[in-house]
Amino acid sequence: MKISTGEKAFYVINNILLLVISLTCLLPLLYIVATSFSSGAAINAGKVFLWPVDFTAAAYDVLIASTNLPRYFTNSVVVTLCGTAFSMIFTILCAYPLSKKYLFSRKKITFFVVFTMLFSGGVIPSFLLVKSLGLLDSYWALWLTTLISPYNMLIMKSFFESISDELNDAAKIDGCSEFRLMAQIYLPLSKAAIATISLFYGVAYWNMFLKVLMYINDTDGYTLPVLIQQMVFQLQQLSVEGNAELSAIPGASEVISESVKSAGVVVLIIPMLIVYPFLQKYFVKGVMLGSVKG
Is residue 101 domain-resident? yes
User: For residue 229, what are the domain limits?
Assistant: 67-233
- CA–CA gap between residue 43 and residue 47 (Å, rounded): 6
Is residue 39 domain-resident? no
Model pTM above 0.95: no
Is residue 290 domain-resident? no
CB crowding 131-151: b at 16 or more within 10 Å, else e: eeeebbebbebbbbebebbbe
Give the number of other Cβ atoms within 10 Å of residue 189's Cβ. Answer: 16
CA dihedral for 228, 84, 107, 125, sign (positive or negative): negative
Is residue 265 domain-resident? no
Is residue 124 domain-resident? yes
- CA–CA gap between residue 136 and residue 280 (Å, rounded): 36
Q: How many distinct structural domains can be found in the chain?
A: 1
Is residue 35 domain-resident? no
Q: What CATH number should be reported for the domain holding residue 216?
A: 1.10.3720.10
Is residue 221 domain-resident? yes
- Amino acid 293: pLDDT: 45
CB crowding 190-225: b at 16 or more within 10 Å, else e: bebbbbbbbbbbbebbbebeebbebbbeeeebbbbb
Task: Encode the chain (294 residues) as per-residue pLDDT tens digits.
Answer: 677 788 888 888 999 999 999 889 889 889 999 988 888 788 888 888 888 888 888 888 877 777 788 888 899 999 999 999 999 999 999 999 998 888 888 889 989 988 888 888 788 888 999 999 999 999 999 999 999 999 999 988 988 888 887 887 888 887 888 888 888 888 888 888 888 899 889 999 999 998 998 999 888 889 988 887 777 665 555 454 455 555 555 555 666 777 878 888 888 888 888 887 777 766 665 555 544 444
Is residue 19 domain-resident? no
